[in-house]
Structure 1
Amino acid sequence: MHPVECLAVWLGRLPFSEALELQMRICGLKKQGEGPDVLLLVEHPPTITLGRNGGREHLLVDEETLGRRGIEMHHVDRGGAITYHGPGQLVGYPLLMLGKGERNVRGYMRNLEQSLIDLVAAYGVAAGREEGYTGVWTPGGKVAAMGVHISRWVTRHGFALNINTDLTYYDLIVPCGIIGKSVTSLCALLGRPLDLEEVADRYLPCFGAVFGRTMTAVDRGFLESIFGGSPGVQSEM
């Protein structure tokens, strides 16, 4: 079976609501059988999201405090509870039409975890899974959170991998509603900051290998030319 093409787009820093609108538009067309698979990679301004499992009780400050600190809050239809997105964090949104052999939600989540385990291993960090929980874990704490939405076997939402993230923002919440578990970042584990776009580039072969996709890096303009918008450029990875 030939690998499926997947367009990978680095969007830079983008408001959460704008990235969500883009996801919805692409997934709406994919449910109609239009367009290739897409991997959106993005960095968000400070944002707290609440998933289908709620987690409002795990917000440790009031909304006025969030507003004063310039932190947005959104209720979304992904799995999971409360989490944080912000500068220095690589957020990935795979928008895939799962093939017949891929239509297993647990298997999809495991593959997403594995792609991130492989990525952090490329930086010399040993990571794995924690029994009973989703995400990617290291001896120093959880380095990546995950929450997805799958409808008609089209995937949406995805993961948040802490690279240079300011971890003090996690003091505002109980991350993912898990009490007694710490969070960490690649910067904290390695003792040095990393270039976020470079990490995004290194993720593409990890994702492609696990999911059996041929990754093609494109700009947002090229993506919009397929799913509605203006022309852009592409390059094989």
Structure 2
Amino acid sequence: MSPGRISVNVVNLGRVAYRSSLQIQQQYIRQHFDSSSQTPNTVLLCEHDPVYTTGIRRAPYPAEEEQRLKDLGAEFFRTNRGGLITFHGPGQMVCYPILNLGCFKKSVRWYVCELEKTVIKMCGKFGIKASTSPDTGVWVGNNKICAIGIHCGRYITSHGLGLNCNTDMSWFDHIVPCGIVGKGVTSLSQELGRDVTIEEAAPVLLQAFSEQFNCMIIECLCVQKKQTLN
């Protein structure tokens, strides 16, 4: 580890309810604001049961549409992240960085761009050519492989990204993902023509994150096991 290199803890929450993930994020955010706390920068990794979430970029999603989606067997949440409606569910790796941008660069635009570059770099490690577009997120051609929607208050970040690994893509058929008409969605499995699990993708994403944010990743996969990734 080079002098002054920032450490970022990774906490793998496993399969967790979306409501619980919001509460856990708030716990970490409050610790950052507590002057007596030595809270490390943290990345929360998890997977959710089927849930549709909306952001704050447009007027509230109509109540009848909310009920229609709930009738499919998914939960529905209105959040304070940026962006429009998206889906989280089994087979999608969700990454919630709870970072103090004062440790990196106090720029929300920079931060979102770094998240995009992280996912592009990760896709490259799998041999997938991904890119950005005028619309936030990471794309393979005209299909979005990773949605990004963040919140930042007093330079503490929350929410983050959802990367499709071996997600059941039919859940996206019931919405216009991120409000972008005429474009589709894809996954690592779909692009590679084989099953790519979250377990396979997670260490590749963390390696790309470590490189892009120039930080040292400390994986806290369980109480007894920690390993560093330079």
Unaligned runs of 5+ in 2: none
Paired residue secondary structure (2:21): helix
Report the Cα distance in structure 2 between the residues aligned to 1:4 and 1:57, rounded to whole angstroms: 39
Deviation of 1:197 (Å): 1.5
Provide the aligned C-alpha RMSD in A.
Answer: 1.9
Unaligned runs of 5+ in 1: 223-231
Task: Select 2:86's aligned residue among 74, 83, 87.
Answer: 83
1:89 maps to a residue whose letter is Q
| 8 Å CA contact retained: 2:53, 2:86 | yes
Deviation of 1:129 (Å): 0.6
Paired residue secondary structure (1:70): coil
Task: Select 1:47's aligned residue among 37, 51, 59.
Answer: 51
Report 1:16-165 matches (<5 A).
16-33=18-35, 34=37, 35-54=39-58, 62-99=65-102, 102-130=105-133, 132-139=134-141, 141-165=143-167
1:49 maps to a residue whose letter is T
1:72 maps to a residue whose letter is E
| 8 Å CA contact retained: 1:140, 1:189 | no
Paired residue secondary structure (1:219): strand
Paired residue secondary structure (1:160): strand
| 8 Å CA contact retained: 1:27, 1:154 | yes
Partner of 1:234: 226
Residues 99, 134 of structure 1: alpha-carbon distance in 2 compared, 3 angstrom cutoff: same
Instruction: For residues 130-187 of structure 1, give each alpha carbon's deviation from its aligned partner in whole angstroms, at most 9, with x where no partner exists.
Output: 1x21100112511111000011111000001111111111111111011111111111
2:43 maps to a residue whose letter is L
Report the Cα distance in structure 2 between the residues aligned to 1:134 and 1:63, rounded to whole angstroms: 23
Identity over aligned pairs, percent: 36
Paired residue secondary structure (1:9): strand
Report the Cα distance in structure 1 between the residues aligned to 2:141 and 2:33, rounded to whole angstroms: 40
Residues 55, 182 of structure 1: alpha-carbon distance in 2 compared, 3 angstrom cutoff: farther
Using the size of structure 1 for normalisation, the TM-score is: 0.89
1:52 maps to a residue whose letter is I
Report the Cα distance in structure 2 between the residues aligned to 1:103 and 1:133, rounded to whole angstroms: 22
Deviation of 1:100 (Å): 6.2
Instruction: For residues 86-140 of structure 1, give each alpha carbon's deviation from its aligned partner in whole angstroms, at most 9, with x where no partner exists.
Output: 111111000001126511111100000000001111110000111x211001125
| 8 Å CA contact retained: 1:49, 1:76 | yes
Using the size of structure 2 for normalisation, the TM-score is: 0.91
